[in-house]
Amino acid sequence: MSAEVEETLKRIQTHKGVIGTIVVNAEGNTTLITSTKVDYAGLLHQLTMKARSTVRDLDPQNDLTFLRIRSKKHEIMVAPDKEYLLIVIQNPSE
Amino acid sequence: MSTTRAKPKKPTLKVTPSSRVMNVSTSGVLRVNHSSTYARSINASVSRKSFSLAADSKILDKSSVQTPKHTVQVFDENGKDVTPQPLYQPDPAAVMSKHSKIFASDTSGGTMSDFYSTAYQTTTNASFAGPFTRSVFGSSTVSRGSQSTMESMNEEIEDPSSKRDISISLSDVQVRREEVKELIKEEMLDDVVDRYLIESETLWLLHMPAVSVSVDSEEAESVKERNNLYMELCKNRMGNDKYVERSMQTFNGAPKTKDVQSEAITMVDAATTATTWDMYDSFRSAGLGEAALSPDTDKASVPEIVSNHRLDPTRAPERTMSVISTTSIASASSSRIEMEPFVVPSEDEPDPELVLQSEKFQQDLFVMERIILENIYQPKLAAYRQLPTLEDPDSVPKVVPTVVSRREESSLDEESTLTPALERLWSFSCELTSGHNVSSMAWNKRNPDLLAVGYGQFDFKDQKSGLICCWSLKNPTWPERVFTCESGVTTLDFSASNASQLAVGMHDGSIATYNVESREKTPVIDSSDCAHKHTSPVWQVRWIDHERGASGEDKGETLISVSADGRISKWFLRKGLDCIDKEKKSEALISRQAPGLCFDFHPTDSNIYLAGTEEGHIHKCSCSYNEQFLETYIAHKGPLYRITWSPFCSDVFLSCSSDWTIQLWRQDLFTPVLGFTSTQSAVYDVMWSPKWATVFGAVNEGRVEIWDLGASILDPTIVSLASPGVKLTSLLFATETDCILVGDSDGQVCVYQLKNLTVGEGTQVAALEDIIGSTLASQL
């Protein structure tokens, strides 16, 4: 991993309120980086697929760039790509 | 009488009489086809007995033919002759023999009738027999007719087998018929029995049409001879050893059960959703070429690669799921690692390392970080941008301990709503910058969210390497760009025409320009090689836009710098950075070789500029005059740190110096209009507010002051103290909002919001002029 990527990743993990950072591969079955035990990978993968399908169904030239789910306790942010999913869970009100 | 069964089904007889022998003799005479065919069909075997019988009967034929009396006749109880007519016409010879045989052996006659009946029933054939039989049906005269036909059948050549057949069957039939008949007579004499005789259909089992040859033909002889031969053979057959009756039994093999088990047929359900984007993608990729698709289909057939196979990213889930189910491959992760040598060029599962190193991943991380920070800093950023801050609906509300304190707070709030204050929003700092002294700050001209901060020591001692950080408002925790320089940075400025160009002046006298868009860490241009470079620290650089230059080529933006070696130089790009001295301070006039500390060009007239020196003099100069100053303003007693024209009133400018004062000048007056002092510390920086003409900010060592001349000309309106041990060194107003940035000696750039500063409406230009006017008036 390049130094810059590592640095950025480390910084993200140390930001205020960040609970976990996960990078999963495209099928949602292998996590490349994970800092939290809870299994968000498989579930979020399916949701991302569905969201992307929705966006593209409305306009096939469009594509999903970012997905944010705000819940009572956390905010889950997903940056999808065709090769991986970058997931960060943050508790912003901490 | 006749049997009950209209159609006797006896095994031997069962097959319905079939073939009509029909002797083709076209005599037109009614022929009764007796059971010759009937019998023939049933018994194919030739029996000697029957043959002999037949033979015998043949002899008898002629004699017995004439006796119509022996004709079988059926009479019902009423005495009616219901003799059924024969259904077919046998060959004359055959018929004759049959008849004779019948007559000879038959006593009851019932057989014949039965035969007839059966014959009738079974005859429906539309062939030869057809017309004959129908016409024959039901007439008693037929029997006579049959006899006559029999007589006429002389020359027919018939298949001898028929005779035999019939005789045998006849004998069988006879026996049964008799038995049945006796029973009836004894028991049911008085019963009225209805008999229905129905003609059944004819089933041909074997039809061997007779071939007749006329006597006159050529073949007649040979045929006759052949027939004779055959008859000889039949005669000899009796005691001949060549002909033996023999029966055979077919072996029935022992049955054996055998089981075969086939491999389980696995059924797989495959499903896919055809969505709009799916179709769109297929069309697009099909349009792009076969090459993209064919390796995919090839790969699909290769089982090993299948598990990691990704045909189309958007459809991947369904495809890979179905593919995995049809092939049994080891788990994805382990096989992926082994897959490396089998990599097929396009569209393979990328190495996880590659994924993490890819550009896209970096980009995503970058965006993600910003989003996270936005979550954290949202209220502050909203305040900065003067948006209403949203309260997090799920955040735990802070508990207020007692009611009393709340009231106190509210009262305080009320007060604070009235007094103008600086509210600290956030600060740009990270571990890179800690310990460095902020020397200058500049906003990017095109992107108002981008801030360049230069770090460097002012004093000649404690010189560390300099640092330039480009900060974005969206990420207060980490700078977007970091450039390290050899010597401390003393000044920097963004170019207006080329927004990504940043000019930096350094403590060692060199000037460099950086391109902040690229990620390179080195300056684009450096002045170290220039012959005329400054030999002393460059205290200020500025990009100045000349509307009309002295010579034709000076149009556009040029870089002007002032340095402690007493020169104000104009730099332009040649092969390196080269400069022309704009101003040489000659020894002649007032100034000696006074080192310049700051300058500022007139906002509207780019030919005129002010320069401040270490001695405290302000010189007004012109670009066209290189030798002399136009004016000199003397008031300060110490080195001038900043001169700045008012952005609203074009002939008013401010100056601040280390003599604890800030002076407000009007360019036509050689004494300052107003002077401001608040504390006894050197004022490092002063800046007009971009929004109000009467407001300016100043930074001295220990505090930030915001002066509102409309409110008070003696005291600053807002004062904010610095943290102990930290000196505040620079000040910058934010252009669009009511915020100021204050840099300190610890490397922090704090963002403050001006709260409750009620200046009044408009830019207050008139107010400023009023103030100046009134001050002047009062002085006079």
Pairwise CB contact (< 8 Å): B280 & A56: yes
Whether A10 and chain B come into contact, CB under 8 Å, resolves to: no
For B616-642, write each residue's pLDDT tens digit.
Answer: 888 888 877 766 778 888 888 888 888
Q: Is the pLDDT of residue A55 over 90?
A: yes
Whether B726 and chain A come into contact, CB under 8 Å, resolves to: no
- Name the minimum distance, in Å, from the CA of B332 to any CA of chain A: 8
Pairwise CB contact (< 8 Å): B367 & A79: yes
pLDDT at position B710 is 82
Distances (CA, A) of B643 to B445, B633, B636, B665: 20, 12, 12, 10
Give yes or no for a contact between B761 and B732, defined as CB atoms under 8 angstroms apart.
no
| Chain B residues inside the 8 Å CB shell of A56 | 275-277, 280, 314
For A20-47, write each residue's pLDDT tens digit.
Answer: 888 888 776 667 777 776 678 888 888 9
Residue B368 corresponds to which tokens in the numbers above? 């993600």
For B574-603, write each residue's pLDDT tens digit.
Answer: 544 555 555 433 222 223 357 788 888 888
Pairwise CB contact (< 8 Å): B365 & A17: no
pLDDT at position B180 is 53
Best interface-test mutation with A: which of B306, B308, B320, B355 has the largest number of A CBs within 10 A? B355
Q: Is the pLDDT of residue B513 over 80?
A: yes
Distance CA A19, CA B227 (A): 116
Q: Which residue has better confidence, B549 or B377?
A: B377
pLDDT at position A48 is 92
Rg (CA), chain A: 14
Give yes or no for a contact between B688 and B696, defined as CB atoms under 8 angstroms apart.
yes
Name the 3-class secondary structure at B666. Answer: strand
Pairwise CB contact (< 8 Å): B477 & A15: yes
Average pLDDT along chain B: 69
Of chain B, the percentage scoring pLDDT greater than 90 comes to 3
Residue A20 corresponds to which tokens in the numbers above? 């976990």
Name the 3-class secondary structure at B23. Answer: coil
Pairwise CB contact (< 8 Å): B352 & A25: yes
Q: Which residue has better confidence, B94 or B199?
A: B199
Q: Is the pLDDT of residue B4 over 70?
A: no
Name the 3-class secondary structure at B151. Answer: helix
For B317-374, write each residue's pLDDT tens digit.
Answer: 444 343 333 333 333 333 344 333 333 334 445 566 666 677 788 888 888 888 888 8
Distance of CA B288 to the CA centre of its chain: 16
Say which range, B22-26, B546-550, B567-571, has the weakest mean pLDDT: B22-26
Whether B204 and chain A come into contact, CB under 8 Å, resolves to: no
Best interface-test mutation with A: which of B324, B346, B367, B375 has the largest number of A CBs within 10 A? B375
Please state the rounded mean pLDDT for residues B404-425.
Answer: 59
Whether A37 and chain B come into contact, CB under 8 Å, resolves to: no
A33: nearest CA in chain B?
B356
Burial class (CB in 10 A: 0-12, 13-18, 19+), B290: exposed
DSSP string, B167-193: HHHHHHHHHHHHHHHHHHHHH-TT---
Please state the rounded mean pLDDT for residues B22-43.
Answer: 41
Say which range, B216-230, B245-259, B576-590, B685-699, has the weakest mean pLDDT: B576-590
Say which range, B39-53, B271-285, B662-676, B731-745, has the weakest mean pLDDT: B39-53
| Chain A residues inside the 8 Å CB shell of B276 | 56-57, 60
Please state the rounded mean pLDDT for residues B476-491.
Answer: 88
Q: Pick from A8, A18, A81: which is nearest to B366 by CB?
A: A8
Q: With b meaning 16 or more CB within 10 Å and e meaning fewer, what string describes B429-468? A: bbeebeebbbbbbbbbbeeebbbbbbbbbbeeeebeebbb
Sequence-distant (≥ 6) Cβ neighbours of residue B459 within 8 angstroms: none
Say which range, B200-204, B212-216, B471-475, B686-690, has the weakest mean pLDDT: B212-216
Q: Pick from A1, A18, A53: which is nearest to B353 by CB?
A: A1
Give yes or no for a contact between B395 and B497, defined as CB atoms under 8 angstroms apart.
no
B394: nearest CA in chain A?
A72
Average pLDDT along chain A: 85
- The ipTM of this complex is 0.84
- Name the minimum distance, in Å, from the CA of A35 to any CA of chain B: 15
Q: Is the pLDDT of residue B34 over 60?
A: no
Distance CA B2, CA B26 (A): 33
Residue with tokens 């280390």: B658
Q: Which residue has better confidence, B135 or B178?
A: B178
Pairwise CB contact (< 8 Å): A30 & B316: no
| Chain A residues inside the 8 Å CB shell of B482 | none
Q: Number of A to B CB contacts under 8 A, please give it.
A: 116
pLDDT at position A54 is 92
Distance CA B264, CA B269 (A): 16
pLDDT at position B178 is 52
Q: What is the 8-class DSSP label of residue B475?
A: B
Give yes or no for a contact between B617 and B611, defined as CB atoms under 8 angstroms apart.
no
A72: nearest CA in chain B?
B394
A53: nearest CA in chain B?
B277
Please state the rounded mean pLDDT for residues B452-473.
Answer: 83
